[in-house]
A and B are shown apart, each in its own frame.
Chain A
Amino acid sequence: MSSAVKTDRSATARSGRLTRPWVPFAYLAPALLLYGLFLLVPLGRAAQFSFFEWDGLGASTFVGLDNYVAIVQDEQLREAFWHALVLIFFYAVLPLIIGLVLAAILTRANVRGMGFFRTIIFLPQVIAMVVVAVIWRQIYAPDGPLNGLLRLVGLDSLTTAWLGDYTWTLPAVGLIGTWVSTGLVTVLLMAGMAKVPRDLYEAARLDGAGAVREFFSITLPSVRGEITVALTLTIVAALKTFDLVYVTTRGGPGTSTTVPSYEVYRRAFELGEVGAAAAVGIVLTIIVFSINAVVNRIGEKK
């Protein structure tokens, strides 16, 4: 009897220690089943596939780590991973810098119409990437609006075929990412900055701090958490760039815009290098997790 009372009390204290231990699992079961079957199992299978050479048609051959060795040796794959790093700059770093400045300026002064502005700059996040890609392919066309604008302001020398130029195509694709990410990052940072107590700023001003010092000594440290989140989200988005490249350049010109996720698709389903594609996918996952871990570690440390 006393043990029953004890159980009861602990149930109250810890809210819901259950008498029937299978109950939570019954609630978990549908989610776990679907999630396990269609995400976890395939992930395990990907790891397994990556040790085989298989063309997707006939029998497979176990090749050990060959597919991973190939990733290091294959110049085109190395290039693809390098492009992904460049895209991280455009998807994550550049929006963060713009977002920080923008959010800091906007938070200092209360301007009317903020809600409306927020709605607009967040808009690219909800437009399907394919639509975004179709739009920008038109904008970047040699006789498209971007070159038209440059000519209008007398910068004819800057005009180029944005998606056909070895130097400019990767940045051009990256800038589409910047266009998409900046709104999210800015809104996130503004939400963080809004939580900073006003009197902190008042005190700083009494000490004679200018806008710049105020930014570095108060604003920046207090949105550390939001910066971490923004970087995590945008870096993952950069590494997962597939639709954008598929619709705009298919990796061209030459191989100047190939990215790992496009290589996964191309190798697995166009070239019939299924094992190699799985290996690229696994490496991509490891990179995503590592970058997340590093970003979060830095975010916590300071």
Chain B
Amino acid sequence: MKTSALERGANYVILIVFALIVLGPVGVIFTLAVGPQSASVAREGRTFHWENFVEAWEVGRFSQYMLTSVTVALLVVVIAVSASILAGYALGTMNFRGSTFFFYLFLLGIMVPTEAFIVPLYFDMRSIGLTNTVWGVAFPQIAMSIAFGTYWMRTYFRSSSRAMIEAARLDGAGSMRVLWYILVPIGRPAILTLVLLTFMWTWNEFLIPLVMSPNGSVRTAPLGLAFFQGQYTQGTALLAAGAILVALPVVVLYIFLQRHFIKGMLEGAVRE
């Protein structure tokens, strides 16, 4: 399509302006993070204070919080993705009574806000002694991820080649064999996307770990950051450095695997 040079130039201006609006706040936090953390440090006169990251890591106990975050994220990703593959396989390739019902049942979970069920969940988890454990923080997120994951995997399995499944089955392969040896290997991109999204949502989650670990023993990185904000009273440099540390793992994954993130978040949303 032909467009004038003027329009093209205007487009570049718009692109740059919007990119700056997005990147501006990121730049602000980065500038703060490498700035001097106190007046006495400022007198030394260096421009970049990279030591802020090390200090924030130690003062904010981020090594501990990051470890918790990684543990919780691993549990959620492994369990939720496995369960979603199995359930999506059943809903996507098998015809059975109630399959529509179950599909809508899972779909319901995508929309239910956490706030709706977190209150009774906390009190019930407390009475069975699951609060303040990694499982207490992981289980609700596993349930939420399964709702989306089952929906996502069902979509993938429905689009997978029927002919291939039939052929394998005629060769005498059981349904489990078909799943693990044919569908899962071909479906690696779809599964990778699901893994990444589940990881990101779990890493970034705030309300569930806040409520499920009232004594702070299972504090994840975003929670650690929120508490660091009130705890560290001397200035903003270390807080900014901590914020970057918390965001970094997901942002790095995003930069390298951005197609998966964007595709997942766009297509995952497109309901039938």
If A15-B93, A30-B83, A129-B204 touch, does A106 touch B11 (CB 8 Å cutoff)? yes
| In the bound complex, CA of A288 to CA of B113 (Å) | 8
Q: Is the CB of B266 within 8 A of A243?
A: no
B-contact bits for A107-138, CB 8 A (1 contact / 0 none): 01111010001111111111111111011111
Residue in B80, B120, B147, B203 whose CB lies within 8 Å of A45: B120
| In the bound complex, CA of A226 to CA of B209 (Å) | 33
User: Which residue of B is nearest A262, CB measured?
Assistant: B115
CB of B128, distance to nearest CB on chain A (Å): 11
Q: Is the CB of B22 within 8 A of A183?
A: yes
A-contact bits for B146-166, CB 8 A (1 contact / 0 none): 110110000000000010011
Q: Is the CB of A35 within 8 A of B109?
A: yes
A292 on interface, CB distance cutoff 8 Å: yes
Chain A neighbourhood of B10, CB < 8 A: 105
B134 on interface, CB distance cutoff 8 Å: no
| In the bound complex, CA of A48 to CA of B18 (Å) | 47
Find residues 40-82 in chain A having any chain B CB closer than 8 Å to their own CB: 40-43, 45-46, 48-49, 56
B175 on interface, CB distance cutoff 8 Å: yes
Q: Is the CB of B116 within 8 A of A43?
A: yes
A225 on interface, CB distance cutoff 8 Å: yes
Size class of the A contact interface (CB-based, 8 Å): 35 or more
Q: Is the CB of A179 within 8 A of B21?
A: yes
If A128-B222, A278-B120 touch, does A43 touch B112 (CB 8 Å cutoff)? yes
Find residues 268-284 in chain A having any chain B CB closer than 8 Å to their own CB: 268-269, 274, 277-278, 280-282, 284
Q: Is the CB of A23 within 8 A of B147?
A: no
Q: Is the CB of B15 within 8 A of A42?
A: no
| In the bound complex, CA of A261 to CA of B7 (Å) | 44
A294 on interface, CB distance cutoff 8 Å: no
Main secondary structure of the interface of A (DSSP, over half): helix
Q: Is the CB of B87 within 8 A of A28?
A: yes
A12 on interface, CB distance cutoff 8 Å: yes
Find residues 191-224 in chain B having any chain A CB closer than 8 Å to their own CB: 200, 203-204, 206-207, 210-211, 214, 221-223
User: Which residue of B is nearest A116, CB measured?
Assistant: B19
B-contact bits for A174-193, CB 8 A (1 contact / 0 none): 00000100011001100100
Chain A neighbourhood of B214, CB < 8 A: 269
Chain B neighbourhood of A261, CB < 8 A: 113, 115, 207
Find residues 126-167 in chain A having any chain B CB closer than 8 Å to their own CB: 126-132, 134-139, 145
User: Which residue of A is nearest B109, CB measured?
Assistant: A39
Report which residue of A31, A102, A134, A285 has the largest number of chain B beta carbons within 10 angstroms of its beta carbon: A31
CB of A11, distance to nearest CB on chain B (Å): 9
If A16-B95, A201-B1 touch, does A138 touch B222 (CB 8 Å cutoff)? no
Q: Is the CB of A117 within 8 A of B19?
A: yes
User: Which one of B45-53, B180-188, B249-257 is at the A interface?
Assistant: B249-257
A91 on interface, CB distance cutoff 8 Å: no
CB of A240, distance to nearest CB on chain B (Å): 5
Find residues 78-117 in chain B having any chain A CB closer than 8 Å to their own CB: 79-80, 82-84, 86-87, 89-91, 93-96, 99, 102, 105-106, 109, 111-117
Having A30-B83, A30-B86, A117-B15, one finds 17 other A-B pairs with CB under 8 Å, namely A15-B166, A21-B96, A24-B99, A39-B144, A46-B116, A105-B11, A109-B1, A121-B18, A121-B22, A126-B250, A130-B223, A134-B243, A139-B28, A202-B1, A229-B269, A229-B270, A243-B206
